[in-house]
Structure 1
Amino acid sequence: MVLSNEKEWVIKEPIPMVIQEELNEYPKIVQQLLYNRGILNQEQAKEYLTHTINHDPFLFSQMDRAVEIILQKIKNNEKIAVYGDYDVDGITATALLSQVLVSQQADVWPYIPNRFDEGYGVNTNALDSLAEAGVKLLITVDCGIRSPEELNYAKKLGMQVIITDHHAPSEVIPNVDAIICQHLNDLYPDKFLSGVGLAYKLAQAIFLKQGKAIELADEWLDLAALGTVADVVPLMGENRRIVKIGLSRIRLAKRLGLSALIRASNLRLGEFSSTNISFGIAPRLNAAGRLETPQLALDLLMTEDINQAAVLAQRLDDLNRERQKITRDMQVKAEEMINPENLLLFAVDPDFSSGLVGLVAAKLTEFYYRPSIIAYQGEKYTRASCRSIQEFNITQALDECEDLLVQHGGHAMAAGFTVENDKLDILKQKLIKIAYRELSKIDLRPVISADMVIPLEEIPADILPQLDHLEPIGSENPQAVFVSKGVQVVRSKAVGKDESHLKLTLKGNQSSVYDAIAFHHGHWSKVLPKNIDIVYTIERNFFNGNIYTQLNIRDIKSSKN
């Protein structure tokens, strides 16, 4: 095993001639980008570029049963609880389904558990409260598929139960009235819907079952776009339509709370993008549940009061600033506790904020390219968040340790668990052994995947409109990444408070000159050679009312040319 922070550049293979001919109506750069994203013919290109995929919601085998139960409860005026999760996917799914049901005259209680008091997933204390309030139907969104015992308890309390959850189930499938989960049914063709994506499909089915237009559900695609992007599910297939239309609805500024949060984040509503969700809106919505209560974010998304919207938006922006400071402090402490040469990074502390351990784990994994587990230790239990790398499925590793865990769940790259304190050391050693088994013979280096090599002077003048074809960008549909070699450095300067970033002016072999920014590369400022190789994206830079083309550099190497 080689330990190195130097990034490996992996450049996609050039498009074969036969595929190039199939896609010949598009510019050459777009052809390569489409090929890199698995687009091999005109039909696939049309689906990708026009965002038309919209599968029948009744392809879910238990969808018809779920809708029949919901409509009967509405008819009987019986109370329905929508039980979500405290991340953006869960919050938006809760808001979406609750508002859809209210629009159909349902009596709805939207419920999101508190991360600190209740933890992840369905819990019996919450079920007791819902039962006492007269809830007769429990609908889970973005959770529930791994809560068979808790949902069996809900049934004993007299509730009917419908699960909508995009997570992979464990071996024990909950015995409930209906389950909407793409991992249980091979008939539904899109396996990558988020929790809010499933809530949207349920909304479509509710309208269709009543003989209404399926398009009525599109009113809530702004919420579906938020949760889909924030949960980092692949932006391919049906998710592209959800996010594309959702972004258009966001720009209409009809949701008061979301528009107020966009203003508080100093983002441009007219150019609002999936990237703005990832780095601007999602962190602020998540900050509510990480530091206080997710109810703040839910109220913001559901409010129809413009004054309340402004107050909540400012509160979330303030919480996000606080979250950033605490996260930095926790990261410093965690780095003092780990050995970066280990194959699994593990840090536990009673002073860690349980709402922020996932963010710290993500930062460590990104920097060291190792699976990371960061945990808060309470009096009896330790609650941890895990982030991983492509080579290590963290949820499968936790499945191997199931006998030691109180609960666990997640995806291949991100998971969480709760363990009793007296079993923590045993669990840690077992996970370390699993990591060694899976990773010890692999060259673990962070990889930057690039779409193509292009000389700087060959970048076309209309490159930005060409790249717009990729929107919305996100997981499995990333920004186009280019490599240019032998680039001449005209000027360079370290910028930022601590001079950690690098601002450059670059020139190709001819007269083409580009401004560039290289975040976290300020260390190059005093040793930068005259000619460099760069990996970068191309973006719009808004400054003083004008729009400029700017290179956003991801990595720099000294040129060998």
Structure 2
Amino acid sequence: MLRHRPTASPPLPSTSTHWSWSLPAVVEPSPLGELNLPLSLRTVLRRRGFLTSCDAEALLNPGLLPDPYDHFPDLLAASRRLMTACRNGEQVAVCGDYDADGMTSTALLLRALEPLGARPVPAIPSRMEEGYGLNPSMVERLNAGGVQLLVTVDNGVAARDALELAQDLGVEVIVTDHHAIPDQRPPMTALIHPATTPVNSPYQGLAGVGLAYVLARAVAEELDHPEAIRVARDLFCIGTVADMAPLLGANRAWLLEGLGQLHRSECKGLRALQQLAGLGDQPLTAEDIGFQIAPRINAVGRLGEPRLVVDLLTADDAEAAMALARRCDDYNRQRRDLCDAIEAEAIALVEAEPGDTLPSFLLLAQSHWHHGVIGIVAARLMERYNRPAALLAGDGEGCLRASVRSPSGFAVDQALTACGDLLLRYGGHPAAGGFTVRAELVHTLHERLCGLADSWLLTQSQGRPVRPDALLQLEEVNWDLWKHLQSLAPFGIGHPTPLFWSRGVTVEDRRDLKGGHIALRLRQGQSERRAIAWRWESSVPVPDLCDVAYTISINRWQGEKRLQLEIKALRSHSETVLIERGERTYIASRMQDESLVVVNSEGRKLVADLQQEQSLTSKDDLVRDERVIQLMEEACLGLGLRP
């Protein structure tokens, strides 16, 4: 393991500091009262920044989207050029990428352009041989084959060499991409990009597949051939969730339209994937896509040739589609095995190091690791150790190629820019990135990355952050809550599945399952609920009486379905709550008559009465002070008296 030991690194988290819990924000006692939702869900929306019921209603029931021609300056030019290609039967190369976004985007345009009259052909680079995106050799090869029009999907905006060559050869290029636009824009016929839309445009969160959908819809509508894009929305749903695009704005509106029909898709490849994933003939959720379908697609781009997925998603024959889907399934099993093996090796390297401290930036390198999966393992290490993690694999000629993942607050892209003089190539965004470095510079690079991460890590609490959205009593976890919870779906980036918590829960039963999972039976008062904790670390104890943080899901087994809690964190329960305000500390507790009492370090007590969805009342004049009210409301949250 390549390692730098900083002078002020926190120790490995012990079981007592495995998580660092934070109270949710104090909001008014009865927020967004006009909404027909339980108090807990209205509180979730209020904490997510929805100030009025009207704002929240726009999330729950999105209205009509604005005309995309008014938001994408080059959409008219792009659609007109493609209309000409369709009318003239031109050959059009669709240049995609090897991730799920790029592969679904490619399939979407292939399926849309062919019935409109064009002759589309796929062009996706090999991850191992050609690297990412449009490149000059692709342009030369396509041009030699008679292609005069290229459409890039999920790439191309920064491919200056390839775009300049295309210009020299007289090849027109329509770029659809959502990655950063260079300061000096390369030559292209048209650019369909979220950054070109107005401020607060609902189209700003579109991934590559969303931009391909905008373009395909525009061309199909102009040619009055709407049936050409019947499957396009289905592929949009898959690619958008798989790429972890923010599920707000246009993404949310189109997902809400598409998810209800996705299980009946006319795309035989999607139906085959659903069958192999055991999803049955029921409406799909964003979670079904993210955890069942997307991994089977992404595994091919990571380990195999992306053309396999494009062939699958454009297959016309159900039998052929099933055969291709089974190959995707095989790649996914191989991907899981590789990830588990590399993760075990990486953890062993970390924990075999002497001493009780970790570097603030984990950096591990093994030449035999597979480039296609090191990003997944880096994310797992980041979650496990709550610090940035980079895994490096051999890249030939004395170089290593890395994938980086980081917790919120540490910007990967800025860190890599600060180390740019040590790197051959690099790129990314705040949460993730990648780079290539010469082997002899790895130690110097690690020292610099640790120097950047040291100051950030000192501001972090020990343990993984746990920030619940709202409190629930176990008796509230029922089918009525589930029904209302689904009205907030789909969940994803920008609008995650709510994290709930419950206080004072008794563990009635525990079963250890294969794969390192544990099943729990929890009790609170007269209510019992079943829970599961995935990939539970054996070193973490499960107290008999605890507070639990969890999401809610459905467990389907042998034709039955029931609600279950998916445990994300737990801690030993305490009847009192310690609140720190600068150098002052307060202890909050409940009295036998259900009153709230807060005691400061000098022993001064403040007592208040609380009724649900109403403001605190107290005989003490201090409780009229806004700062004191804030303190008392935080105490209410900590004691589970407010959601």
TM-score class, shorter-chain normalisation, is over 0.9
Q: Contact between 2:220 and 2:229, CA under 8 Å: does it hold in 1?
A: yes
Task: Find the counterpart in structure 2 of residue 191 from structure 1.
Answer: 204
- Identify which of 359, 383, 388 aligns with 1:366: 383
In 1, the alpha carbon distance for the partners of 2:419 and 2:134 equals 21
Cα deviation code 1:367-420 (max 9, x no counterpart)? 112212212222224322221121112122223344554443332212223345
Corresponding residue for 2:39?
Answer: 28
- Cα deviation for residue 189 of structure 1 reads 4.3
Q: In structure 2, what is the equivalent of residue 157 of structure 1?
A: 169
> Which residue of structure 2 aligns with residue 50 of structure 1?
61
Deviation at 1:95, TM superposition (A): 0.8
2:323 maps to 1:311: yes
Whether 2:370 is the aligned partner of 1:353: answer yes
Structure of larger gyration radius: 2
How many aligned residue pairs are there?
555
Matched, 1:549 2:560: no
Q: 1:459 to 1:75 in 2, by over 3 A?
A: closer
Question: What amino acid sits opposite 1:148 in the alignment?
Answer: R
Which of the residues 486, 490, 509 maps onto 2:504?
486
Which residue pairs with 1:241 in the alignment?
253
CA–CA separation in structure 1 for the residues paired with 2:190 and 2:306: 27
Which stretch of structure 1 is more off in the superposition, 386-395 or 327-336? Answer: 327-336
Specify the SS of the correspondent of 2:521. strand
Q: Is the 8 Å Cα contact of residues 20 and 462 (structure 2) preserved in structure 1?
A: no
Paired with 1:517 and 1:422, the residues of 2 have a C-alpha distance of 45
Aligned mates of 2:91, 2:101 — CA distance in 1 = 24
Contact 1:55/1:238, CA 8 A, preserved across alignment? no
Q: 1:558 and 2:572 equivalent?
A: yes
Distance 1:373 1:269, change over 3 A: farther
1:81 aligns with 2:93: yes
Selected match of 1:507 from 523, 526, 533: 523
User: C-alpha deviations, 1:163-216, integer Å up to 9, x for none?
Assistant: 111112233322212111112443544321111011111122223444666x97
Q: Cα distance, 1:77 vs. partner?
A: 3.1
C-alpha distance in 1, partners of 2:441/2:196? Answer: 32
Q: Distance in 1 between matches of 2:573 and 2:108?
A: 51
Deviations 1:73-119 (A, max 9, x none): 33343321111110001101111122111121111111111100111
* Cα distance in 2 for residues equivalent to 1:18 and 1:27: 10
- Is contact 2:231–2:265 with CA below 8 Å preserved after alignment? no
Q: Secondary structure at the residue paired with 2:248? A: coil
Q: Secondary structure at the match of 1:80?
A: strand
Whichever residue aligns with residue 552 of structure 2, its letter is I
CA distance in 2, matches of 1:308, 1:352: 33
What secondary structure does 1:319 align onto? helix
User: 1:114, 1:294 within 8 Å by CA — same for their partners in 2?
Assistant: yes
Aligned to 1:293: 305
Report matched runs for 1:332-411 at 5 Å: 332-338=344-350, 341-380=358-397, 381-411=399-429
Report if aligned partners of 2:103, 2:306 keep a CA contact under 8 Å in 1: yes
Q: Distance in 2 between matches of 1:427 and 1:156?
A: 39
Contact 1:451 1:482 in 2 (8 A): yes
The counterpart of 2:213, out of the listed 165, 186, 200, is 200
1:288-322 deviation digits (Å, cap 9, x = unpaired): 12112111111111111111111111111111111
1:530 to partner: Cα distance: 3.0
Alignment gaps of 5+ in structure 2: 1-8, 576-643
Aligned structure 1 segments of 4 or more residues deviating by more than 6 angstroms? none
Is residue 516 of structure 1 aligned with residue 534 of structure 2?
no
SS in 2 for 1:135: coil
Q: Post-superposition shift, 1:465? A: 0.8
Could you say what secondary structure the match of 2:467 adopts? strand
1:133 aligned onto 2:145: yes
Q: Which moved more, 1:279-288 or 1:324-333?
A: 324-333
- Per mean C-alpha deviation after superposition, the further-off stretch among 183-192 and 311-320 is 183-192
Contact 1:343 1:440 in 2 (8 A): no
- State which drifts further: 215-224 or 534-543: 215-224
Q: Which shows bigger deviation, 282-291 or 538-547? A: 538-547
Quote the offset at 1:353 in angstroms.
Answer: 1.0
> Secondary structure at 2:50's aligned position in 1?
coil
CA distance in 2, matches of 1:75, 1:423: 55
Contact between 2:88 and 2:118, CA under 8 Å: does it hold in 1? no
Range with bigger deviation, 457-466 or 230-239: 457-466
- The TM-score with structure 1 as length reference comes to 0.92
Question: Which stretch of structure 1 is more off in the superposition, 98-107 or 87-96?
Answer: 98-107
Structure 1 residue identity aligned to 2:215: L
Aligned equivalent of 2:76: 64
Residues in 2 aligned to 1:131 and 1:382: alpha-carbon distance in whole angstroms? 33
Between 1:404-413 and 1:174-183, the stretch displaced more is: 404-413
Contact 2:116/2:225 (CA < 8 Å) preserved in 1? no
Q: Quick check: 1:279 aligned with 2:291?
A: yes
Q: For residues 79 and 291 of structure 1, what CA distance do their matches in structure 2 show? A: 30
Q: Give, in angstroms, the shift of residue 516 of structure 1.
A: 1.6
Distance 1:487 1:247 in 2: 35
Q: Are the aligned partners of 1:140 and 1:162 in contact in 2 as well (CA < 8 Å)?
A: yes
Q: Is the 8 A contact 1:407 1:418 kept in 2?
A: yes
Instruction: Specify the SS of the correspondent of 1:450.
Output: coil
State the partner residue of 1:93. 105
Q: Contact between 1:47 and 1:53, CA under 8 Å: does it hold in 2?
A: no
Q: Residue 148 of structure 2 aligns to a residue in which SS?
A: strand
Q: Percent of aligned pairs with the same residue?
A: 34
Alignment check: 8 A CA contact 2:100 2:243 kept: yes
SS of the aligned residue for 1:374 comes to strand
1:506 counterpart letter in structure 2 = L
| Whole-angstrom distance in 2 between the partners of 1:71 and 1:246 | 26
Question: 2:475 matched to 1:457?
Answer: yes
Q: Could you tell me how far apart the structure 2 residues matched to 1:426 and 1:560 are?
A: 46
Deviations 1:434-457 (A, max 9, x none): 334554544464212211122223
The match for 2:124 among 112, 123, 132 is 112
2:518 partner letter? L
CA contact (8 A) 2:10 2:358 kept: no
